[in-house]
Amino acid sequence: MAQDSVLLRAVSHWREDAAGWLSGSFDRLPETVRVNPLRADSDWTEGWLEGIGSQRITWFSGPGSAWALPFERGSAQGDVKAVLIALHETGRLTRQEASSMLPVLALGAGPGHVVLDMCASPGSKTTQIAEHLGQSGLVLANEVVNSRVNMLVTNVQRHGSSSVAVIHHDGRHLPRVPESGFDRIIVDAPCTGSGTTGKNPDVWGKWLPSGGRSLHDLQVALLSKAVALIKPGGRVVYSTCSLDPVEDEAVVAEVLRCSDAMNLLAASPLLAGVPAEEGRSDWPNLDDSGELSVEEVPKSMLPPSEPAIVEQLARCMRVWNDSIGGGGFFLAVLEKSADAPQRPVPEIQSFLSPEDVKPDARNAPQPLPESIASSVESVWGTLPDGLWVRGKRLLLSTPEAQEVWESERSRRGGRTRIPGGRWRPLRVMHLGLSAALLRDGEFDRIVAGAARELGPRLPGASCEVDGALIDSLLEEGDASIDEGGGLEGVRGGRILIDSQNGDCVPVWVGGRISLMLGKAERLLLSLQRGLTFNQNEGE
């Protein structure tokens, strides 16, 4: 099918050696993963990957690391499969196609930045950005499709960073919150996926040039919105997993045409060592048999005629499947000039008071009300900054989330001022690290995945113990109070901290001390501590 595909015919118009591309686009891809550097045990994870014969991806410029596993996607077996699943479920690893890691490496996001991930689900780039922020700053991860918002929330929760908020909008109509704009924006646009044949063999039979043309206007609209929302001096990365210039360079050219303030940065110095080709400034118009067409198409889909744009397009980057040994990919890095004029400030016609504005939806995260704050403080002995509540969950986020929530905003192009102290008009579906659970409005217990982050910060909720107790809990699931060394008289949820190496495990202290760790965490901690763990024993 691949030999006779329209896609192969199209590729033969885009590069000389289409057969070379075909040979590298057909095989299933190796499994590739990113190691989450925000986890204290990331060295152990890297050692385990090395031990099973994985190869470091040398062009990956971290933080963290990226690896190609010694088998194809989805074909791990036995114990390796069990550990891989556990590493993924606990957010220590993210499965991600290697070339899909490139846009975030080119984005240059860092601690304290407020970043928009405009088309975010399933969230592999969102979590990668969070790793660059290092638990400070904020990523607003946006997705328009309902079911894909849920998938995004699940993946972000598993990753366990405190710097992500999931929002639910059509990217073309995102409200301007924060009003000052974003430091960085990534537009990983919906596309035809012509570079994904290794992962999605269906593409061979389905791909048509008209598919790219039907997405072009949406892609231009999304990137144009990003240009409107980026701060002066800020950077936007536009990317697709399509090789089709109509979805790639033509979109970038149209946006450059409409905005004097934007320039392309050369992508290749930002991505040293990545085997890639420059962007192109010329491409043919193709019909749905993959042959040259003389039918008229809108100007924005055609090669640009403006010399300044023609010259700049070479700064884009196209990664062919056969050169990288993975998925085909395109990216462009745009920068707004630092002296770009600020948006004209319209005459303000009205100021709304907090009572005039609809409150946030009931399921949006809110700062802790006093009653919950005092219940939490009485148990934890302190109240960490950045706590929020959503339903029965206590969430931990960053100062930048608080700043966005507090910031004033506007409506009607700036003519109506709206006070902060709300997310609205943002629709926030999730925020930060899921830290603890509430029952009847009172603190109930710490979520296992947050134990390592919270344990050392909560003197009232944690106890240092001898490592032997933690070993015994991991092996047996519970222990008698006598073994607890200092836990006599304690009741309820606690985090035990190993006095030798700082490992943290959540327990419930009642008649006995019971381990409150899920199977995946228990398996990994047991392996790290050189213990045997019977996987069939359950939680």
Ligand X SMILES: C[S@@+](CC[C@H](N)C(=O)[O-])C[C@H]1O[C@@H](n2cnc3c(N)ncnc32)[C@H](O)[C@@H]1O
Task: Report the candidate in 105, 346, 118 with the shortest Cα–Cα distance to residue 230.
Answer: 118
Sequence-distant (6+) residues with CB within 8 A of 202 are none
- Residue 431 Cβ vs ligand X, minimum distance, rounded to whole Å: 19
- Residue 104 Cβ vs ligand X, minimum distance, rounded to whole Å: 9
- Alpha-carbon dihedral sign for residues 356, 362, 366, 371: positive
- Residue 330 Cβ vs ligand X, minimum distance, rounded to whole Å: 12
- Residue 114 Cβ vs ligand X, minimum distance, rounded to whole Å: 18
Other residues' Cβ atoms within 10 Å of the Cβ of residue 517:
21
The two structure tokens encoding residue 40: 């204290």
Task: Report the candidate in 69, 72, 58 with the shortest Cα–Cα distance to residue 26.
Answer: 72
Nearer Cβ to ligand X (122/518): 122
- Residue 174 Cβ vs ligand X, minimum distance, rounded to whole Å: 8
Other residues' Cβ atoms within 10 Å of the Cβ of residue 47:
11
The two structure tokens encoding residue 242: 């399509």
Nearer Cβ to ligand X (187/513): 187
Quote the CA–CA distance of 326 and 120 in Å, as a whole number. Answer: 21
Binding site for ligand X (CB under 6 A): 100, 119-125, 142-145, 148, 170-172, 188, 190
Number of helices and strands in the chain (H, E): 17, 27
Nearer Cβ to ligand X (45/155): 155
**Identity of the residue numbered 351:** F
Nearer Cβ to ligand X (118/256): 118
Question: Is 241 labeled as catalytic in the residue annotation?
Answer: yes
Q: What is the DSSP secondary-structure string of 280-327?
A: -S----B-TTSSB--S---GGGSPP--HHHHHHHTTSEEE-HHHHTS-
- Residue 5 Cβ vs ligand X, minimum distance, rounded to whole Å: 21
- Contact predicate 479/472, CB 8 Å: yes
- Residue 466 Cβ vs ligand X, minimum distance, rounded to whole Å: 43
- Residue 329 Cβ vs ligand X, minimum distance, rounded to whole Å: 11
Nearer Cβ to ligand X (121/224): 121
Quote the CA–CA distance of 380 and 192 in Å, as a whole number. Answer: 51
Quote the CA–CA distance of 279 and 398 in Å, as a whole number. Answer: 38
Quote the CA–CA distance of 247 and 148 in Å, as a whole number. Answer: 22
Q: What is the b/e burial string over 147-178, where b = at least 16 CB atoms within 10 angstroms of the residue's CB?
A: ebbeebbebbbbbbbbbbbbbbbebeebbbbb
Other residues' Cβ atoms within 10 Å of the Cβ of residue 104:
27
The two structure tokens encoding residue 329: 């990919």
- Residue 475 Cβ vs ligand X, minimum distance, rounded to whole Å: 38
SS3 sequence of 326-360: CCCEEEEEEEECCCCCCCCCCCCCEECCHHHCCCC
The two structure tokens encoding residue 373: 């704050």
Task: Report the candidate in 251, 263, 252 with the shortest Cα–Cα distance to residue 339.
Answer: 263
Nearer Cβ to ligand X (137/171): 171
Nearer Cβ to ligand X (255/505): 255
Q: Point out which residues pair with 237 in neighbouring strands.
A: 186, 333
- Residue 125 Cβ vs ligand X, minimum distance, rounded to whole Å: 4
Cis-peptide into 425, omega within 30 deg: yes
Catalytic residue chosen out of the listed positions 241, 316, 463, 504: 241
List the Cα angle 406/369/160 in 5-degree steps.
70
Nearer Cβ to ligand X (189/435): 189
Nearer Cβ to ligand X (172/257): 172
Nearer Cβ to ligand X (175/419): 175
Which residues carry out catalysis?
241
